[in-house]
Amino acid sequence: MEPRISRILDDCLARINSGESVAACLADNAELRDQLDPLLNTAIRASALPKVSPSIEFRQTSRLRLLTRLKQEQQACNSAATATASAGETISGWRALWHGLSPAKRVAIVVAIVVLSVLTTVSLLPRSFNPLYPAPALASPCVLSILDGSAEFRSVTSDSWQPCRDGMVLQPSTLVRTGQHSNVILTFFDGSTIKLEPDTNIEIQKIKQNDDESADIVLRQAVGTTWTSVACGGETASHYRLETPAAVAEVQGTLFTTAVTKEGLTRFEAVEGVITVTAEGEAVRLTKNQLTEVDPGRPPSESRILPQAETELIVTSELPLVIAVLDPTGASTGFLPSGLSFNQIKDSEAARDPHGRQVISIQEPIAGEYKIILRPVTTGSAMVGLITKSEGTIISNIRRQISLKDRNGLLVHLDLVTESGSIVGSVITGLEPISDRLLEKVVATELAQERAVPFRLEASDTTNPDAATEADRSSDEATESSASGATDINSEAAEQAEAPSDTEVDEPASDEDATPDDRMENNQGRPNGRTDSTVGSPK
Amino acid sequence: MIQQVEKAKAGFSAQAVELVRDAASGDVEAFGQLYDLYLDKIFRYVYYHVPDKMAAEDISQEVFVKAWKAIKSCRGREDTFLAWLYRIAHNLMVDHHRRQRKCRSLEVQCRSKMTNSMEATELDLKELELVQALRYLPEEHQNVIILKFIEGFSNQEIGRMLNKSQGAIRITQMRALSRLRKHLTKTREGEDGT
């Protein structure tokens, strides 16, 4: 009911804004007149508030103060750069001294410098680079992870293929191909990933880190299907270019699928972000949920909307639990408590809101065993949801309050059964603790870790109308991702019964003591339908 | 008729995009022009949240200081600059409220009372009643009322700033207006002695 009235109210406001009268709007919605009339009048009154401004004194002095401060900071930065330049002059003085030394003395000095440098560098290196503390290759241009099956690689200048090893580092000018029933992930230094499905062949043409830490990545996909997640954190989004026999796609901060047949017919599907597909001098721009197809030698087809997924698996959680999902191929999508996010499952999306609520959605999930991993930020309990949908119908909707009494995570085994493309059932087949094991094949690059926003439990966290617990999804208008990287998933359910009820606040006895803050603290809306059965961590 | 308020996005002209681009490249003067363009908007947004005009001025300035420090992240996204500024303002106000909860000093309360009397000379009685009622709303409701009805943003724009869906904005709008209405009615009943 609330969503319907809110829409009607919004429509009336738009009509009034364009010149219609309140009476006309109320006449068209006679059955809601009693509800709409006071709201419309309040809105009109709020719109009529005068435009207050800062004081004249503040306006005059603040600009000057601000710009002076900014210029001083800028000069401080420039001074540091000047100091570097003057060091160059000192170097030429030392050159003159060096040429005056005997050869034997020069050799002795060089050896001493080299030994000192090695010892100093090794001790100062962060552990991730330090050979004394072996660690995953976080700073490597590209790391290959084998999810299942096998893959081979070769240099572009060589003819012989060699087997890939899990965790190996790949350089530009390398070709990779996956075998039948094989899936592989390539992780780039900026956190971007590309999943290669079975019988896929790609070439890594270029991997470059720019000064602003953004990446320039160029790949060529000859055949097969890939799922790409391009990182968009930090100051500048990475530039990612994927070439196929038929077209070239340029992307920034995107999730998309690329399928290339043996004949070179290419299909691009954008799940998130923007892709520009160019072929034969013409370009097509894809935004969320759009696709284009390209025949070799022809321009890209006009963009069209992706058909709605027939089936969907949705997993939701809230703090203090952080979720990730592992699919039957070994690919994973979700989050770690450090805030690191990853998206390796084709047609999946993972979103978190500022309150730490997370939603992972997988369109057209394949049948098989899924592993749902729950990791605690701190001990406590949280509502976890598991929903499967098929042709618009909810097949299962499991909601449980999960309580973790220690820092061990919980692994939920979920068996998903499909028949003729429809989900017919989902069964939880097991629960086990996972301690601090990392089951996901996630390569935590330094850049991605730096950009990650850790999950933190705020004392003042309260529920809000955008609760990520869903019972249904509507096709509402899309919103773009914010600068922090969090994506708001549009959901009619967020507007409905699962949203916290707008409970009345008890007014304090005295208006003198009443503050907006007191009211905020008193407003503890609770979503309906929560079951508070506690499931402790199995021993 | 609802006042035809200035649309921020329409005001976000090609000139503004150019200014953001220049500022992101380190041009302090360009940033100064952005300050001139948007100080009022940010001030109003903050002002309707905090019951203290001087605090609102301080917070507004701090918004721009923080914006300057992170302005390089606007490269390639110049048209989201204003939404991004509002986001900074929102975060600073959350911090402000937290600090206020911890430190309810006499000085702050006195400043509030002083500001209220200053406000009384700027706004007529009905407007003052509405502003004070607005401040009693939960923060989320305040945001939507201010951005929609005072600043004139669309639901989509507000959704971007607050990281919410348009559907959620519509619902919040309805709830906010309902709450505001109830508050105003209670106040009037209190004055009438009913």
Alpha helix ranges (H) inside A125-257:
none
- The percentage of chain A sitting over the pLDDT mark of 90, rounded to a whole number, equals 36
DSSP state of A169: B
Instruction: Tell me how far apart the 2 most distant CA atoms of chain B are, in Å.
Output: 61
* Pick from A124-133, A135-144, A155-164, B61-70: least confident: A124-133
Cα angle vertex B171, ends B128, A309, to 5°? 155
Q: What is the pLDDT of residues A378-387, one digit of tens each?
A: 888 889 999 9
Instruction: Work out the average pLDDT over A488-509.
Output: 34
B97-119 confidence digits (pLDDT tens): 777 665 554 444 444 444 454 45
Distance separating alpha carbons of residues B85 and A61, to the nearest angstrom: 21
Using DSSP's 3-state secondary structure scheme, residue A403 falls into strand
- In a 10 Å sphere around its CB, with 0-12 CB exposed, 13-18 middle and 19+ buried, how is residue B51 labelled? buried
Q: b/e for A145-180, b at 16 or more Cβ within 10 A?
A: bbbbeebbbeeeeeeeeeebeeebebebebbbbbbe
Contact B47 A52 (CB under 8 A): yes
- A471 falls in which pLDDT band (50, 70, 90)? very low
- Percentage of residues in chain A having pLDDT higher than 70: 71
Strands (E), chain B: none
- Label residue A490 by pLDDT band (50, 70, 90): very low
The CA–CA distances, whole Å, from B128 to A252, A311, A491, A516, B47 equal 47, 53, 37, 16, 13
Contact A479 B26 (CB under 8 A): no
pLDDT of residue A498: 33
Q: Touching check for A14 and chain B: CB below 8 Å? A: no
Report the alpha-carbon distance of residue A127 to residue A236 in Å, rounded.
27
Name the residue with higher pLDDT: A273 or B94: A273
Residue B141 to residue B171: CA distance in whole angstroms: 10
User: Searching chain A, which residue's CA lies closest to the CA of residue B64?
Assistant: A66
CA A122 to chain centre: 34
Range with the largest mean pLDDT of A174-183, A379-388, A529-538:
A174-183
Cα–Cα nearest to A518, from B176, B104, B179, B115: B104
What φ, ψ does residue B22 adopt, rounded to 5°?
Answer: -65, -45
Tell me which residues of chain B, numbers 85 to 124, contact chain A at a CB-CB cutoff of 8 Å. Answer: 87, 97-98, 100-101, 122-123
Tell if the CB–CB gap between B87 and A483 is shorter than 8 Å: yes
pLDDT, tens only, B1-30? 333 344 444 445 677 888 888 898 888 889
User: Which residue in the set B53, B165, B175 is minimally distant from A490, CB to CB?
Assistant: B165
Assess whether pLDDT exceeds 60 at residue A153: yes
Distances from the Cα of A416 to the Cα of A254, A365, A446, angstroms: 28, 8, 35
Q: Which residue of A has its CA nearest to B149?
A: A47
Looking at residue A403, its amino acid is: S
DSSP string covering A326-348: E-TTS-EEEE-TTS-EEE-STTE
Under a CB-based contact definition with an 8 Å cutoff, are residues A74 and B28 in contact?
yes
Cα–Cα nearest to A207, from A187, A222, A225: A187
Please list the residue range(s) of chain A that carry CATH number 2.60.120.1440: 142-305
**B57 to chain A: closest CA residue:** A54
DSSP A345-359: STTEEEEE-TTS-EE
Q: Decide if A382 contacts A410 (C-beta within 8 A).
A: no
Collapsing DSSP to helix, strand or coil, A144 comes out as strand
Among the partner residues B56, B84, B170, nearest to A10 by beta-carbon distance: B170
Taking an 8 Å cut-off on Cβ atoms, the answer to whether B166 and A490 are in contact is: yes
pLDDT above 60: residue A151: yes
Helix axes B81-102, B53-69, angle to 10 degrees: 130
Arithmetic mean of pLDDT, A299-303: 93
Alpha helices in A376-417 (DSSP H): none
Confidence label for A511 from pLDDT (cuts 50, 70 and 90)? very low
**Pairing between β-strand A239-243 and β-strand A215-229 as defined by DSSP bridges:** parallel
Architecture of domain A142-305: Sandwich (2.60)
Mean pLDDT of chain B: 77
Chain B hits for A236, CB-CB cut-off 8 Å, are 72-73, 75-76
Averaged pLDDT, A354-381: 90
Taking the Cβ of residue B143 and every Cβ of chain A, the question of whether any pair is shorter than 8 Å is answered with no
d(CA B8, CA B23): 19
Q: Which of A10, A71, A495 minimises the CB distance to B168?
A: A495
The whole-number pLDDT of residue A435 equals: 74
Hey, how many other C-beta atoms are within 10 angstroms of the C-beta on A414? 21
Q: Do A353 and B98 touch (CB under 8 A)?
A: no
Nearest CA in chain B to A46: B149
Average pLDDT over residues A213-242: 82
Of B43, B97, B138, the CB nearest to A54: B43
* A373 has a pLDDT exceeding 90: yes
Nearest CA among A137, A136, A162 for reference residue A150: A162
What are the pLDDT digits (tens) for A32-82?
999 999 999 999 999 988 778 887 778 778 888 888 888 877 777 676 656
Q: Which of B26, B44, B163 sits opposite A51 (nearest CB)?
A: B44
Pair of tokens at residue A34 = 């009693």
**Phi then psi for A429, rounded to 5 degrees?**
-105, -5
- Least confident stretch, A62-66, A129-133, A164-168, A451-455: A129-133
Chain B residues whose beta carbon lies within 8 Å of the beta carbon of residue A19: 1
Query: Which residue, A310, A317, A313, A291, is CA-closest to A302?
Result: A291
pLDDT computed for residue A437 by the predictor:
74
Of B42 and B83, which is predicted with more confidence? B42
Task: For residues A234-257, give the mean pLDDT.
Answer: 82
Task: Please give the full DSSP string across A217-248, using - where no structure is assigned.
Answer: EEEEEEEEEEEEE----SSSPPEEEEE-SS-E
ipTM of the complex: 0.81
For A41, other C-beta atoms within 10 Å of its C-beta total 13
Could you tell me if A283 and A300 are in contact, meaning their C-beta atoms sit under 8 angstroms apart?
yes
What is the average per-residue pLDDT within A435-440? Answer: 80
pLDDT at residue A144, rounded to an integer: 93
Could you tell me what percent of chain B has a pLDDT over 70?
A: 75
CA distance linking residue B142 with residue A523, whole number of Å? 14
Q: Are B44 and A52 within 8 A, CB to CB? A: yes
Location of structure tokens 């299942």: A148
Tell me the whole-structure pTM to 2 decimals.
0.48
What residues in A contact B51, CB-CB < 8 Å? 515-516
pLDDT, average across residues A18-28: 91
Amino acid at the residue A42: T
Average pLDDT taken over every residue of chain A: 76
Give kind and range of the element (H or E) at residue A366: none
Which of B2, B159, B186 is closest, CB to CB, to A47?
A: B2
- Candidates A357, A458, A515, A519: best to mutate against B (most CBs of B within 10 A) is A515
Highest mean pLDDT among A322-326, A352-356, A519-523: A322-326
